[in-house]
Amino acid sequence: MGSSGRDLSIFVLLAALALPGTVAAKEPLRLKPSSKWNIHYADDSCRMGRSFGAGDEKIVLIADRYQPGGDLRLSFVGKPAYTRLDEGVVRVIFGPAETEQEVPFYPGSLADKTPTLIFREGVRIVPYPPDVLKAYEAAVKAKKYDFEWPEITPEREAAVTYIEVKRSAGQPFILETGSLGAPLAALEKCTDELLDHWGIDVARHASLSRRVRPTSNPANWMKSSDYPSEMLRLGKRAIVHFRLNVDVEGKATACHIQQSTRPKAFDDAVCKAIMRNAKFEPALDAEGKPVASYWLNSVVFQI
């Protein structure tokens, strides 16, 4: 399967905060694994997780993937993941060979109040090089919304042995993951099987000559007026990952919530607005014939 790469994340926001960008010079907390990798197969997503450290220093790494490709949605659960900031940017390194990259985050917590650091966007273990980003920006400017991102080789995945996270507030931490080759291969197997669960012709989809192509900028499919009024009143925010079924005519026929930070009012707002505004050109198989496919993305509700 080819990688669909970075999505065109849709932001529904009403205000922005200026946050400090300097990283405190502290020695990182280095944590070794305290559990095996666990791969969870769901109907609409795949997840791998592992615990590192113990007691008050314990961090659980959660990596979600919603389709075949290189993007990961990372969350870190545990007291060391606490930050006093409402949002901001973290610096993450998939070491020892990959370069540092910045990813926006916001904090959350579990039902038992355990702090959670949630990456607001997908991240790849290999950052996009400047020339690829420039080509992507040119494609969007030209109103082409089906940009194909370069794939990550298994060799580069296997070379990663730790993940380092730095923040402007809070102690940095390093998770000694060991080689990510095997767990990412298991995650890839899971995401390939997702297509079958979705009723996609996997064989035809493996050699598409064109993926589903939005005919307008997805960033415009939701407006600030789509922010659920009760959630706005309560100061709630959310990240909603969704998937659309797209038929051979390019029509979105169903909206599925793959994963969400909830409440459900956000999920309902996403599907209502997206189904109303989404327009596509259909996917084409190797012979150039239209084929039923899918399109997925995420919506970030931010006050």
**pLDDT at position 23 over 80:** no
pLDDT band at 186 (very low <50, low <70, confident <90, very high): very high
- Amino acid identity for residue 243 in this structure: R
| 262 against 226, higher pLDDT | 226
| Distance (Å, whole) CA 214 – CA 281 | 6
CB count within 10 Å of CB 153 equals 10
| 115 against 203, higher pLDDT | 115
| Distance (Å, whole) CA 123 – CA 116 | 17
CB count within 10 Å of CB 292 equals 19
**pLDDT at position 16 over 50:** no
Averaged pLDDT, 181-206: 88
Look at residue 47 in the predicted model and tell me its pLDDT: 95
Look at residue 10 in the predicted model and tell me its pLDDT: 61
pTM over 0.75: yes
pLDDT band at 46 (very low <50, low <70, confident <90, very high): very high
CATH 2.60.40 at 16-197, yes or no: yes
Look at residue 281 in the predicted model and tell me its pLDDT: 94
Lowest mean pLDDT among 9-23, 78-92, 143-157, 203-217: 9-23
Averaged pLDDT, 95-109: 91
Averaged pLDDT, 87-107: 92
Look at residue 133 in the predicted model and tell me its pLDDT: 86
Look at residue 3 in the predicted model and tell me its pLDDT: 40
Look at residue 227 in the predicted model and tell me its pLDDT: 94
Same fold, 16-197 and 202-302: no
Look at residue 2 in the predicted model and tell me its pLDDT: 38
- Amino acid identity for residue 17 in this structure: L
Q: What is the mean pLDDT of the chain?
A: 87
* Spatial CA neighbour of 179 closest among 163, 190, 164, 193: 163
**Domain segments of the chain as ranges:** 16-197, 202-302
254-278 per-position pLDDT tens digit: 999 998 887 899 999 999 999 999 9
Q: In residues, how long is the chain?
A: 303
Look at residue 1 in the predicted model and tell me its pLDDT: 36
| Distance (Å, whole) CA 108 – CA 114 | 8
243-256 per-position pLDDT tens digit: 999 999 999 999 99
Lowest mean pLDDT among 12-21, 86-95, 108-117, 283-292: 12-21
**pLDDT at position 9 over 70:** no
| Distance (Å, whole) CA 224 – CA 111 | 28
Averaged pLDDT, 191-199: 86
**pLDDT at position 26 over 70:** yes
Domain 202-302 top-level CATH class: alpha beta
For 15-26, b/e burial (b = at least 16 CB within 10 A) is eeeeeeeeeeee
CB count within 10 Å of CB 41 equals 15
- Quick one: what percent of the chain has pLDDT higher than 90? 56
- Quick one: what percent of the chain has pLDDT higher than 70? 91
pLDDT band at 121 (very low <50, low <70, confident <90, very high): confident
